[in-house]
Structure 1
Amino acid sequence: MLEKIRPYINLVSYNTDYRRLWLSQVVSNFGDWFGVLAVYALITRYSDSEFLLGLIIVVKMMSLASFSPFAGYITDRFDRRRIMIICDLLRGLLVLGLLMVVSYDTLWLAYVLTAFQMMLSAIFEPAKTSSIPNVTTEQELVDANVLSAASWSIIFTIGMGIGGLATAWIGTDLVFVIDACTYVVSAWFIYRTTIPQERMDEEERKRTRNPLVGIKEGFQYLLQNPQVLRPTLAKGCFTMFLGALTYMLVLVSEEVLLMGSIGIGLLYSARGVGTGIGPVIGRRVFSEEQDWIRAMGFCMIFGGAMYVIVGATGSLLVMLLFVFIAHAASGANWVMSTVLLQRRTPDTFRGRVFSTEWLLFTLAQSLSVVVASWILENDWLSIQQTIMFFALMLSVTGGIWHFTVTQEEKSYQKDRQHRELSATQPAERMP
């Protein structure tokens, strides 16, 4: 067992800059999940409206989506280390601003502050992901992303649980103060990190001083480089259906298992653990990077098949097992697509590429949840039938991916191998 985790131990032991960047992620992610239930509690305290409670989720997703293109431009044009520090400190101030919500009349502040917090997160996340290749070697890059994914899943699993208990025991105000402190600690870790970055040359900086030009060039780069576009689409294609499936786990616990918050906690814990272990398993099953695009299609097919079983059963244990397996496939897909983007994208475009990926992911997830909730609202299908429908569609998407995107990747790999072979062959002697 120790030998299997030895690469990750060595990575955080000997690579100081990655360790500090990773610790900043751990602390800030914990703050994110620790404080989320306190925001929900604040809304329910001053309003009985289910609409207002759901609106905070919509505000989060739309703020992330709408600001993502500008976020990518910012992270490519300016110093990412400085950007992340500023984002963390401002997010801490915004969380403290939630202390001013003291009545129904001030409840609007929660939505405004949350919107700005998510905009800053839209900048922070691509800046952080784009920085990982700059503080790791080629050999460390996969381990670094696997560790980041595993850390996210562990924090997700325990952060909300601790946050829920803390909200009940010590109150929302103190939870917000602790949440703000986590952002300050994260900023301190980043401040102590050295993050090299390839800068735009003078001509490119002058040409892209208009943000809209820089954003346009980012989209053009993706369209002109299909080898980068392919992994950019992977997360969005997956969550186009998995987003709704994850959302419906809440309803499954309420309506099928009749377990309320306990069932939600267990199902989401299975999701979190699967997301963390999946990249480790995926790396062993698909050890060659040239197979990863194909593997993404298989992950979609496999994840969908697992959720079909979730929709067909009424057993908690069976659900936990297959939710775990489905999200292991999702976690593997996440890390493989991230690493390919990091390897294939030049540093000066990396922020815009990751922000575009985040935009697609956010929009796909939002649309998925809206469609599922509309189906259920109109009683077109039962909750279990809706789960099976979205699960089957996820598998179908994986099949389409296999016959389109995977085939394009095979052609790209063949051409690449041919070019590499030609480059290694000695030039023919002139007579």
Structure 2
Amino acid sequence: MKQYLELLKNEYVLRRLSTIQLISYFGAWFSNVAIYTLLIEMNVSAGVIALVAALHFLPGVLQAPLSGTLIDRLDPKKLMLTLLSIEIISTLSLLLVTDVSLLWLLYIIIFIRMGAASFYFTAEMSLLPRILKHDVLKQANEIHSIIWSFSYTVGMAVSGFVVFALGVKTAFILDALLFFTGFLLLFNVQIEVIVTKSNESLIKMMRKTFTYLKENRHVLHLMLVHSLVGLTSFDAIVALMVDKYYSAVIATALALGLMHSSRAVGLVFGPMFLGKWINDKRLFYLFIFQGSALLIWSYVMEYFYLSLLASVLVGFFTTTLWSYSYTLIQHKTDKEYYGRIVAYNDMIFLTVASITSLLTGELAKIGVPLQSIIIYMAVAFFMSSLYYFWIYKKYMKE
């Protein structure tokens, strides 16, 4: 923890960006819990819940070819301010969704909102290698993931109580206010980055990216490895678990908040214990540990309090899997391709997350037990460990 605080102390821009992350991520969970609470109260089908979960990821998939190219050409601060503005407006627009007949509007708003959020994230992650030295980039990614996890933990827990006590609309308003605070903080920070002026067309820049990946296949393989962490897209399955097993035990909003926040406890503390231990070779074992944790969760998921404990273990390995695999991509990518490679990486990651959410809903609709769905995820992580082992042997082992 000491090294993280020291890095934040020495890097002003990183410190300000991290503060904005904490505020905006914290607020995002208010509307997230509110959305799923609203859906369950509307008594929608498992397919609708899965679709909404998938819509949180789909915009990042569709816009990646364009967003990555724009990030390599535009001023990062102006771009990020514009995206925060879109998030504020779209979050307030959620107040318009009042009954099941307006589900179509909810889909559109979520698509726009998450498109801006995904674009912002890609812009920020491509900015970090430009302002930080390589030897601290891994720590910066870990700080980012710890902040995400901490805000997830506290945000989900608090938002569950806020939605329960004050209602869905209040949660949306609070979320928008926190995004606005983030906007003001970003507006007042100076980010000194040289933006390379290019006369190449967007199409030509996209083509060059594909050529780059073809000539640097190890980067593509690492992108695929990182995307497999998207299998931990649990929003849909947690909502289905709450609806099936826990709604008779505890209020829906509270159950959603506690389930997500308990996993986030593991997400916060995982990198604090694993950060110094992890290296290129040991990443193989993390995939195995993640799969094993999922098997334990599947065994106890019917029991609310045991499920809470198991979800802590599930989250313990996820953050380090995400941050370290992301760092490998940043280290192996040439500077002029940062924006495009990060965008395509996020596209693949979000595709896996979106497919995971949709498959969860479809499997549940045809009667596949939720325990079996989690077991399938566990098996996928075991297979992922073998894939990474092959990459390590072929491209990374000295």
Shift, 1:278, TM fit: 1.9
Map Cα deviations across residues 52-96 of structure 1 (whole Å, 9 max, x no partner). 454433333222221122211111111111100111012112222
Q: 1:56 to 1:364 in 2, by over 3 A?
A: same
> Quick check: 1:99 aligned with 2:98?
no
> Quick check: 1:243 aligned with 2:233?
yes
Distance 1:342 1:164 in 2: 36
Distance 1:326 1:167 in 2: 25
3-state SS of 2:282 partner: helix
Q: 1:92 to 1:306 in 2, by over 3 A?
A: same
What is the aligned partner in structure 1 of residue 145 from structure 2?
Answer: 149
In structure 1, what residue type is equivalent to 2:346?
Answer: W
Among candidates 197, 206, 214, match of residue 199 of structure 2: 206
3-state SS of 1:279 partner: helix
Residue pairs, 1:353-368, within 5 angstroms? 353-368=341-356
In structure 1, what residue type is equivalent to 2:237?
Answer: M
Q: 1:283 to 1:397 in 2, by over 3 A?
A: same
Shift, 1:19, TM fit: 0.9
3-state SS of 2:133 partner: coil
Q: Structure 1: which 5+ runs fail to align?
A: 415-431
What is the aligned partner in structure 2 of residue 425 from structure 1?
Answer: none
Shift, 1:119, TM fit: 1.5
Shift, 1:175, TM fit: 2.9
Q: 1:92 to 1:383 in 2, by over 3 A?
A: closer
Distance 2:305 2:165 in 1: 30
The percentage of aligned residue pairs carrying the same residue is 21
What is the aligned partner in structure 1 of residue 380 from structure 2?
Answer: 393
Map Cα deviations across residues 383-425 of structure 1 (whole Å, 9 max, x no partner). 32332233123212212321x21212335xx3xxxxxxxxxxx
Shift, 1:317, TM fit: 5.9
> Quick check: 1:410 aligned with 2:396?
yes
Distance 2:183 2:332 in 1: 28
Q: Structure 2: which 5+ runs fail to align?
A: none
What is the aligned partner in structure 2 of residue 70 from structure 1?
Answer: 66
Shift, 1:155, TM fit: 0.8
Indicate if the aligned counterparts of 1:281 and 1:332 stay in contact, CA closer than 8 A. no
Residue pairs, 1:210-225, within 5 angstroms? 211-225=202-216
Among candidates 312, 315, 328, match of residue 324 of structure 1: 312
> Quick check: 1:352 aligned with 2:340?
yes
Map Cα deviations across residues 106-164 of structure 1 (whole Å, 9 max, x no partner). 55333222211122122101111112233333443222221211111111112133223
Residue pairs, 1:10-409, within 5 angstroms? 10-42=6-38, 47-50=42-45, 51-102=47-98, 106-201=102-197, 205-207=198-200, 209=201, 211-240=202-231, 242-243=232-233, 247-252=236-241, 255=244, 259=249, 261=252, 264-286=256-278, 291-292=279-280, 294-313=281-300, 319-379=307-367, 381-402=368-389, 404-409=390-395
- In our comparison, the structure showing a higher alpha carbon Rg is 1
Among candidates 4, 10, 13, match of residue 8 of structure 1: 4
In structure 1, what residue type is equivalent to 2:261?
Answer: S
Which deviates more, 75-84 or 167-176? 167-176
Map Cα deviations across residues 276-301 of structure 1 (whole Å, 9 max, x no partner). 22222222212xxxx42x33322111
The alignment of Structure 1 onto Structure 2 pairs a total of residues equal to 393
3-state SS of 2:16 partner: helix
Distance 2:299 2:174 in 1: 42
What is the aligned partner in structure 2 of residue 418 from structure 1?
Answer: none
Q: 1:107 to 1:243 in 2, by over 3 A?
A: closer
Which deviates more, 296-305 or 389-398? 389-398
What is the aligned partner in structure 2 of residue 426 from structure 1?
Answer: none
User: Structure 1 length as normaliser, TM-score?
Assistant: 0.81
Which deviates more, 215-224 or 15-24? 215-224
Which deviates more, 72-81 or 343-352? 343-352
Shift, 1:218, TM fit: 2.3
Distance 1:176 1:89 in 2: 15
Distance 1:53 1:408 in 2: 41
What is the aligned partner in structure 2 of residue 422 from structure 1?
Answer: none
* RMSD of aligned alpha carbons: 2.7
Distance 2:372 2:121 in 1: 35
Q: 1:268 to 1:200 in 2, by over 3 A?
A: same
Indicate if the aligned counterparts of 2:157 and 2:258 stay in contact, CA closer than 8 A. no
Indicate if the aligned counterparts of 1:283 and 1:332 stay in contact, CA closer than 8 A. yes
Q: 1:393 to 1:104 in 2, by over 3 A?
A: closer
Distance 1:297 1:153 in 2: 22
Distance 1:230 1:282 in 2: 23
Shift, 1:303, TM fit: 0.8
Distance 1:115 1:172 in 2: 19
Distance 1:165 1:320 in 2: 17
